[in-house]
Structure 1
Amino acid sequence: MVTATKTPRRAWVEQIMGLPISIHLRGDDVRSEATEAVVARVYRRLRWVDSVFSTYRQDSTVSALRRGEVEVDEVVGAVGYIVDVCAEASRVTGGCFSADLPDADGVRRFDPSGVVKGWAIGEAAKLLGELPGHSYCINAGGDIATGYGPDCPREVRDQAWRVGLQSPHRADAIVRTVELHTGGLATSGLYARGNHIYDPRTGTYPTTTGSVTVSGPDVMWADIWATALFVGGKESEELLHQWDPRYSVIRLT
């Protein structure tokens, strides 16, 4: 058996969208110029996403949209796509997910942040998937996408990326491990950022303890469902299973 230590591995990290985004590659050419070029392209793409979708940047397209300065049909195509995904997410989750969220002044405005991070990481993963002979893992604040490019040797493809799930009660404790080869994973909870998750059905902020981790084919939808299941509780898991049974749920209490 070929072990992970026999395959060259390299990692990069940059601060974008207000959080560290790390890229991990396995393969024989992790230090080549071609590899560097793909990684640089990924980070350029993520910086572009931030410039368009950030609700914290006054010069972003989404901030202009929130101020009513532009309409959806006047902005770049990606924004319209995200608007449609937000509407679909609200529908399939039974209203447990929404992009219509209270701002700092309490006024509900369009905030696609719960979709954008997962979507951005999924798009970045597509670029990394163009890199021949390598497997990849990209992590943005717990939104994780993994996969491999063309002509990736079987011994590299078969090495799972092991993701540790943090205890909701102790930042220094890993209580579960998930192995990923392809697909995405996301976790929702209050232990890292405090009381920031909104229940659009009741107009309140749940104080539920614990965390919900969802894994499946698409990191964007894993992130959406992790939030929705945290808000909706265990009884809402049936909605996910009906929507796509390929997604798995781990609840930590």
Structure 2
Amino acid sequence: MKNNLQMIKFQRSKWFSFLFVIMAVLSFNTVNAQQKVKNIVLIHGAFADGSGWEGVYRILTKHGYNVSVVGNPNTGLADDAEATRRVLERQDGPAILVGHSYGGAIITEIGLEKNVAGLVFVAAFVPDAGESLLQLAQSGPPSPNSGILPPQSGFLWYDKAKYHSGFCADVSAEKAAFMYDSQIPVAFAAFQVPITKVAWKTKPSWYIVASEDQTVPPEGQHFMAKRANAKITEIKGSHVVFISQPAAVAAVIEEAAKGALK
């Protein structure tokens, strides 16, 4: 009888130990699930539109993320930040903001919103407080192949002669032609207004340097990324690296989504 009681106690002890391990694993997985940001908000820059994010969108949604694409009007930093805020208000939980080119200024300005968990800059401008994009653009030698034209009726357009080679050299000529004809110009005022809020000083940041960018020089990208203390990933691609290398760009966004709340 005594041996039987000891056996029962031993088996009960093993059972409780097994339950403890299961509960610990479940708790660990629950914490991990809570730490992973599920909402991704993508913001395009000048001379392009939200459709350029389609490749990245398809990859991230396939991996279970809730992805929204902001159709910012490019009419001014305040307008474009407000367009992003409206999309942020629709998110259920924390979100990662991803900004391309001029979109980097937008996420810098709007990224202090309470549900923003982290920032991803893609070949983007990363201005500091009191700094304008024009100041940043003029702080170093311009790329000789950049096709940004002088303002016309208050807006900046990209030169047709340089659009493919200077803006999107690693997409097909046919696609580049369509992108040129559907480009969205940006208000010159957006490049003149100084930044008033700087989210990257308090929010974790990642930066994708496009090593073959001929619109925003890679040297300038490295400078801005290091200044923002962003985690840097360099990808061989043009200014629209998010279009030509969607899998590589999506991988960095996922890294941010998994690491922003840690």
Say which structure is richer in strand. 1
Same fold (TM over 0.5): no
Q: Name the TM-score, length of structure 1 as normaliser.
A: 0.28
User: Could you say which structure has the greater relative contact order, defined with CA pairs below 8 angstroms and 6 or more residues apart?
Assistant: 2
As a proportion of its length, which structure holds more helix? 2
TM-score, structure 2 as length reference? 0.27
